[in-house]
Structure 1
Amino acid sequence: MLALLGDYTVQNVLLGATLLGVVSGLLGSFAVLRQQSLMGDALSHAALPGVCIGFLITGTRHLGWIMAGALTTSVIAALFVQLVVRYSRIKTDAGLGIALSVSFALGVMLLTWIQGMPNASQGGLDTFLFGQAAATRRQDLWFMGGVTLLAVLLVMGLWKQLKLVTFDPLFAGSIGLPVVRLESILTAMIALAVVVGLQMVGVVLMTAMVIAPAAAARQWVSRLEHMILLSMFMGVISGVVGVLFSATVPHLATGPVVVLAASALVAVSLLLAPGRGMLWSWFALWRERRAIGQRQMLTTLYKLAQHHNDPHYPVERSMLDSFYGVATDPILRRLHERGFIAPASHMRVEGRHWALTDAGYSEAEKVLEQLGMATEESA
């Protein structure tokens, strides 16, 4: 592993993946919270014609010009979506679909035309579709670092405004904030994140890097600042793990592995995150079902006791089985362990009987009181 980290190419790719994780985690958080996950997909596909235009301007694969072209076409696509949604009856998802398909078709057309040109420097331009992390150079890292620093400074400088526009744009507009301008800035910054990732993971896979770390972080925290920090950390972890794994296994593309690492974090978060994870939800549902069964049993025993004017009226287990249509032994056993019921010696030939204890009688009264209050509130 130390020998691997000493490799010049691996060092460049690791630094690039770290910068990508930071900027995608930072800006992807806003996209996820604003329910604009498809925006990242549209902007990443809209970057392809910009890549081709940047090459046509310089005639070489100059990363600065290519990224500038990608940023320009991504921002134009984002502004197109905003204008179409605001001034027509087309919905946001339809506008994003139009921008994605038209821009990507234009990009593929330009890419095909460029590849037919008698220019040797156009070779490998199609790697921007899926990324070519191994081609990352030290001067490329300076550009990626500058873009990442710009995004961080913009978010820090407009933190309160961006936070308010993200959660309550109507209130932000009512107090005089330029909502449209701030939303345009956010969209442009998401385009910045897309531009940073073109070299690493490419046009097609970049949307996953914008969305996956933020979606995973959202499962663990409930505050925006915590979500952003965790999302940036998960983005960095995804990049580092993907780079090291692809560097260890021969002929394994780095970009897809990075995306798969980020997707694995999403899967783990969806399963295990406290409070929101599926396993926690299933466990909470199982506990609630158990509690409901116990409360129903207590109220049944209580009503029978009330009907017979005996707080410790013994009830046969087989009668309870017939009443509920299921075996009630597990519920009765748990109630007995909690001290709410006790075995009763009554007509042994008929089977085992159970009766409420004083604690069980009091608990049943509390349950019925809570049910009564809930019924009154719903009424």
Structure 2
Amino acid sequence: MDAWLRALTFSTGYNTSLVTLGAMLLGASAGMIGSFILLRKRSLVSDAISHATLPGLTVAFIVMALLFGDGRWLPGLMIGAGLSAAFGLWGVQHISERTRLGEDSAIGAILSTLFGLGVVLITVIQAMNTGGQAGLTGYLVGATAGMLAGEAQLIAACALLLLIAVFMLRREFLLVCFDAEYAATNGVRAQRVDMLMLLLLLAVTVIGLKVTGLILVVALTIIPPVTGRFWTDRPLRMVAIAAICGALAGYLGVTLSSVRTGLPTGPLIVLSAFFLFVLSLLFSPRRGMVAMLAAHYRFKTKVHLRQGLLALARQEAIYDALTLRVLRRHGFIRRDNVPTPLGLAAARDAEHEEQLWSLYRSLYPDEAAHLDHLGLEPISDCLPPDTVMSLESRMHPPLRSAL
């Protein structure tokens, strides 16, 4: 526990602190660009891009190993992975636009083919007479334990630049995500913005290879945006929350992995993101399961309360146990189910409200169809005062004086 507290306070050394900062910037940028990809309904593209990096990674390793004797130079590996991922992205776009196959079919074909090619090339590398082959497999699930300070600085700098780029392009991205035709009328070229969006996604994938690995980096572009969606309906707030969740996942994952030697950083980052997702799924005040169950219980209570009061007003017998409990809780009936004076008064009001609602439905059927929970809320809270007064006057027309 003490080791984790030291890691949380950036007191475990320069390199670990730098890796933590780089992972936080990477998580924030992945959460931001992933939010736009999610709103554009193209989240599976990130899976294809991540798996398409493996052939370029292995080819770059082979070339550098043959030329320099060591193929583990990070910038070269990132360039090779980026070129391979760009080719995979071009393949998905080309297949989906030039053939009858959908984008999901194109993603499946590109993902499986390029990843299979990368696995074959890894076996070729393992048979080569050169060093560093074992370190290459760390790019599959991430490997930060042996990360050099220069590599951590490169990842942190690239992630920061990527975060700034996504922030500057957020308006164009939102326009294209929600209405590409309207964006075109405002001078925004949807096809170009789509390509920029995917290129930034590609950059996140390539940068995250060393931190989370090509298999798990896709989780950083999907889980934080989905987590943010639980907390708000506004897209920019969702992007901000996704960035915070991604940064927090990177922070927790790297610090946890530094507690004990051998703990994998990439999987811990993804598990941290999933932990935040589960918390949001359960306790979000908007769409969380607890909030939804509470809202369902409140709605059911209102229904039973209204039906119970109407039954009291019409002197009907009540047999439902929940209705009886709700009426007793509000003091409308005694323990022997006899109505109290307060209950009789509330029943008269409920019957009057029901008559007003019935009259409103018959007079304004179209408007009544668009009201939520019609009849459960006080009519004065749902309708304008002049409408309520008009309904009252129709129910109780004034008596005309005799001539």
**Residues 229-279 of structure 1: per-residue CA shift (max 9 Å, x gap):** 222222221112112222113421111111101100000011111111111
Cα distance change of structure 1 residues 24 and 352 upon mapping to structure 2, 3 Å threshold: closer
Which AA in structure 2 matches 1:225?
Answer: L
Q: CA deviation at 1:361?
A: 1.2
**Aligned structure 1 segments of 4 or more residues deviating by more than 3 angstroms:** 1-4, 173-176, 341-344, 367-375
Query: Is residue 79–residue 184 contact of structure 1 (8 Å, CA) maintained in 2?
Result: no
Out of 54-63 and 276-285, give the one that drifted further: 54-63
The corresponding residue for 1:363 is 350
Which AA in structure 2 matches 1:358?
Answer: A
5+ residue gaps, structure 2, are 66-70, 371-403
Aligned CA RMSD, in angstroms, stands at 2.4
Which AA in structure 1 matches 2:42?
Answer: Q
The question of 1:354 aligning with 2:300 is answered: no
Query: Is residue 49–residue 110 contact of structure 1 (8 Å, CA) maintained in 2?
Result: yes
Q: CA deviation at 1:96?
A: 1.6
Equivalent position to 2:124, from 113, 116, 122:
113
Which AA in structure 2 matches 1:31?
Answer: I
Cα distance change of structure 1 residues 320 and 252 upon mapping to structure 2, 3 Å threshold: same
SS of the residue corresponding to residue 135 of structure 1 reads coil
Q: CA deviation at 1:227?
A: 2.2
Which AA in structure 2 matches 1:332?
Answer: L
The whole-number CA distance in structure 1 between the counterparts of 2:104 and 2:355 is 49
Q: CA deviation at 1:176?
A: 4.2
Out of 20-29 and 353-362, give the one that drifted further: 353-362
Q: Given the two structures, how large is their TM-score scaled by the length of structure 1?
A: 0.85
Q: Given the two structures, how large is their TM-score scaled by the length of structure 2?
A: 0.80
Cα distance change of structure 1 residues 370 and 39 upon mapping to structure 2, 3 Å threshold: farther
The whole-number CA distance in structure 1 between the counterparts of 2:151 and 2:35 is 25
The corresponding residue for 1:14 is 20
Cα distance change of structure 1 residues 327 and 177 upon mapping to structure 2, 3 Å threshold: closer
Matched pairs, number: 353
The question of 1:329 aligning with 2:337 is answered: no
Identity %: 30
Out of 266-275 and 220-229, give the one that drifted further: 220-229
Equivalent position to 2:197, from 177, 181, 186:
186
Cα distance change of structure 1 residues 109 and 177 upon mapping to structure 2, 3 Å threshold: same
The corresponding residue for 2:374 is none
The corresponding residue for 1:284 is 295
Query: Is residue 75–residue 187 contact of structure 1 (8 Å, CA) maintained in 2?
Result: no
The whole-number CA distance in structure 2 between the counterparts of 1:352 and 1:278 is 34
SS of the residue corresponding to residue 201 of structure 1 reads coil
The whole-number CA distance in structure 1 between the counterparts of 2:173 and 2:80 is 26
The whole-number CA distance in structure 1 between the counterparts of 2:138 and 2:36 is 28
Out of 141-150 and 92-101, give the one that drifted further: 141-150
Query: Is residue 294–residue 335 contact of structure 1 (8 Å, CA) maintained in 2?
Result: no
The whole-number CA distance in structure 2 between the counterparts of 1:95 and 1:299 is 60
Query: Is residue 40–residue 207 contact of structure 1 (8 Å, CA) maintained in 2?
Result: yes
Query: Is residue 175–residue 183 contact of structure 2 (8 Å, CA) maintained in 1?
Result: yes
5+ residue gaps, structure 1, are 305-312, 345-350
The whole-number CA distance in structure 2 between the counterparts of 1:140 and 1:30 is 28
Equivalent position to 1:86, from 85, 97, 104:
97
Q: CA deviation at 1:174?
A: 4.4
Q: CA deviation at 1:141?
A: 2.6
Query: Is residue 38–residue 96 contact of structure 1 (8 Å, CA) maintained in 2?
Result: yes
Q: Looking at secondary structure, tell me which structure has more helix per residue.
A: 1
The question of 1:300 aligning with 2:295 is answered: no
Query: Is residue 23–residue 250 contact of structure 2 (8 Å, CA) maintained in 1?
Result: yes
Q: CA deviation at 1:335?
A: 4.3
